[in-house]
Chains A and B, each alone.
Chain A
């Protein structure tokens, strides 16, 4: 590989010139964050909302605040966990183990320090995304009704715990009298121990194609031979990124977007994400003009845009792209000669009035160059078995499929898991029942939760799918900026003891929005969570 020369575009090299920046977990996310911070004031100048003075103050204040924050974090975490153990590493205490590693060095060694890759030195710095920081803090003090009733409640992870009982029941019923499953499950040693096709068992592909068909309302067929299976949607996105773009190229991504995209696309493939900002006034719907603008701006900077990455249903907003919008997107991609990656992992978790239409269906309906469209799917959301790590790349592009098949070697699903899932998915009656019940339960929790929030004066963006609501708390933040948002997040964390995801972690351009997942709790726990939120709302209001 000789891409090293392209350093000027490579996101990794950028952060190297920014050593003074303390928050550089992934260079990439920080570089775009910096980008955002520049954009915010500039846009406010244009719109005349805040003035230039305030605009330039924001980054300075943020920088100061973050220093303060990290300092506090460090002293906090000194007390828990043994410092020499690298397992505490994922928390922002990472700074600690480094000193112990130095003690391993001989005197000669400390002169010439061991060099890791640029990527590693960026990643081993403390997380700067509140998404990950939040997840870590929950791990350190997780809520449990009996053991730790004052712990932090996890509302920052879109896990669906509403329907695990259904799967449990199915397992008990169907595996009765079996050892590792019954004989038609093929869980015999020869079915699980040896090497299997790395891109997934054909049986599972067939079952998944049916499942996707079922989940998407039966209106679109999926061809198992267009599939590559991976251990979760995370490697699926990474593999597609490796296939579609070179280091230093970029994808357009409508904001707010799923914080994991930074990790999946930027880290190892080295592809940049260019935010295309959507706004509350449009209920965060995408518009083509914004896309056009972002595209031509990137081109002016000499950045090659290779694709557009969308999540539909959208994570974190929960809205759905209309068929018309999908057509426009396809036109746009055709016109610019770029790819579309459609992350549809929430396709089956719909509860609202809008109907979900897969981009695959739109492709079917008209003569369009199918080879530029790639779909990501998985069972972590719609079947709620995130631990099983089942992800799908669905593409009509043969070259992409061939390369992805080879790459699936790095992320193959374990065979026993594939067998069990195949067998579960093949029970279509059970699956239909699951899908229906799941939708029903999500809707029930969603309606109740959003209703309670509204009563607290917190409005949510209109949504139809997903396991979260996108809540507008801009009225509670002061100042109206990312700083205010961070402060409110901290309050939720330390006062209300709930972990939610701030808009800044999703690259939202407007401060004060939060993603709250409601499927990690039961219907009965809603009042408890609402009560905790009320506490924070009260303090915010009384102080203003």
Chain B
């Protein structure tokens, strides 16, 4: 024990502080899910994971492509002759064909309205690594970045933990659908300056996580002029740009700066990833696209700290340069997302639960203010605990996103099959109705009804021996696999 203590002192502050931000209900919800994960047959009373933004709706398309293109992998008899060239490749610039393919894909996702220069792509381990990398490039410990709230909970870990950068929230409100306003930006910036905090930039997510909304062109323009006038950086996290499934049309910052002649381009940096748009988080592809040459230079050198394996790069290069496949995939994916979201929100409307209007993302922003006993964050947490423990759904409370108003919850809808969605809806309806009646009778009823709905289960046992499962998919779960 004393030994342990002595050693504790020997470690860094980073290793021993809790600035990784994982002591938040966002991650607590995951733990609740992991200790009792839902499974349609093995654990039908388990917690359904609705706190993880994963896109599993189009796995079949990817699977089909893989089956038709065995040459893409260097680890198949068809592709093994490339093994020799790839196995040793560890250049932090990334495989040229990979960067070309990704640049092409990014352009396609944005409707071909902008081109991306493969030489400006900085490789990184997932968007997580990309976000951290750009912070290391732009800010010193103690410097700050503005971030409109509500924002992605893990930003605290990704942007701040090891870099020592701090986040300053820019308050957005439900009264105008959480839009980012010039006034709010100015106010946060002013306040920071008054507090003698060195603001290095602004980071936005577009489409927004957790709101699922896209930023309108005019707003984006005013954001760009704001950062220009103050000569601070703009980091645009656009990892959900391919999930846009409805109007208004998506506008990337890359398009906006094309139109703004006066804009200082080297203040602009885009974060991208294949985890959401392609549904491939296991591949760990993230990148920074920077218009700033110096950032490209030094960011590249940091790529070694989170490089994607050459095997994976090679494989994705082939997949993403298949234009026909990419077009089909993007169209089909957004069709399925729209369908899923509509089904879900319609189901909620039946019990008078509304959501923020949205057109993108793998989640929506659910309004449960009417269910709060007290309109405080404490009330929000109380309701959240009820939802986790009794309704057995892991949704994420707004406070985890630093939301300024209590009563909002993020609900992920694309990481499960249709039957699970139905069960989730059933549970919510039963909960709300039961609450209305002051009883939990309905909950009992759906429990006994549960088994009926599994006959149509889409997933087939053979696909999933337990240890190959995503820890968060509503499929068989192995205790061996745990995401933290």
Contacts and interface: CB of A to CB of B under 8 A. Distances in A.
A105 B265 CA distance: 7
Contacts of A428: none
B471 A195 contact: yes
Given A4-B140, A243-B14, A409 B300 contact: no
Contacts of A249: 12
Given A109-B264, A193-B282, A414-B283, A116 B87 contact: no
Interface string B113-136: 000011110000110110010001
Most buried by A among B13, B62, B293, B473: B293
A189 B59 contact: yes
Interface in B268-315: 279-285, 291-302, 304-312, 315
A164 B415 CA distance: 39
A180 B73 contact: yes
Contacts of B299: 120
A417 B231 contact: no
Nearest to A195: B281
Contacts of B300: 89-90
B110 interface: no
B281 A411 contact: no
Interface in A182-218: 186, 188-199, 201-203
B306 A410 contact: yes
A94 B444 CA distance: 68
B351 interface: no
Interface string B449-475: 000000000000001110111111101
Interface string A414-433: 11110010000000000000
B119 A268 contact: no
A112 B267 CA distance: 12
B1 interface: no
A420 B75 contact: yes
Contact of B305 (A105, A115, A268, A386): A268
Contacts of B292: 101, 114, 116
A119 B136 contact: yes
Given A181-B75, A371-B3, A120 B306 contact: no
A522 interface: no
B264 A179 contact: no
Contact of A337 (B10, B141, B142, B468): B10
A140 interface: no
Interface stretch (A165-173, A289-297, A311-319, A480-488): A165-173
B162 A389 contact: no
B88 A387 contact: yes
Given A97-B293, A167-B87, A231 B309 contact: yes
Interface stretch (B15-23, B189-197, B327-335, B434-442): B15-23
Nearest to B459: A190
B176 interface: no
Contacts of A500: none
A87 interface: yes
A280 interface: no
Contacts of B128: 409-410
Contact of A405 (B160, B309, B484): B484
Interface string B204-233: 000000000000000000000000100101
Contact of B311 (A193, A238, A387): A387
B294 A120 contact: yes
Contacts of B132: 410
Interface in B149-175: 157-158, 160, 162-165
A413 B136 contact: no
**A interface, how many residues as a size bin?**
35 or more
A360 B141 CA distance: 36
A350 B136 CA distance: 38
B304 A232 contact: yes
Interface in A116-133: 116-124
B353 interface: no
B177 interface: no
Interface string A221-252: 00000000001101100100011111101000
Given A3-B164, A181-B75, A412-B125, A243 B15 contact: yes
Contacts of A414: 282-285, 308-309, 311-312
Interface stretch (B78-86, B179-187, B388-396): B78-86
Contacts of A196: 282, 470-471, 481, 483
Nearest to A4: B142
B468 to A, nearest CB: 3
B134 to A, nearest CB: 10
Contact of A244 (B10, B88, B119, B481): B10
A521 B132 CA distance: 37
A179 B66 contact: yes
A386 B89 CA distance: 7
B12 A243 contact: yes
A210 to B, nearest CB: 16
A467 to B, nearest CB: 12
Given A194-B470, A415-B282, A416-B311, A409 B157 contact: yes
A89 B296 contact: yes
Interface stretch (A50-58, A341-349, A395-403): A395-403
A263 B304 contact: yes
B70 interface: yes
Contacts of A235: 125, 304-306
Contacts of B90: 232, 380, 386-387, 389
Contacts of B3: 369, 371
A420 B469 CA distance: 16
B310 A191 contact: no
Nearest to B482: A197
Most buried by B among A3, A89, A159, A181: A89
Contact of A267 (B295, B302, B468, B483): B302
Given A164-B88, A177-B77, A406-B20, 17 more contacts: A3-B164, A87-B93, A98-B293, A121-B294, A164-B84, A171-B77, A175-B76, A186-B465, A192-B283, A193-B283, A194-B54, A232-B307, A234-B305, A242-B14, A385-B87, A386-B87, A387-B87
The 3 closest A-B pairs by CB, nearest first: A1-B164, A194-B470, A387-B310
10 contacts: A2-B141, A2-B164, A89-B296, A179-B66, A193-B59, A389-B309, A409-B129, A410-B128, A411-B125, A420-B75
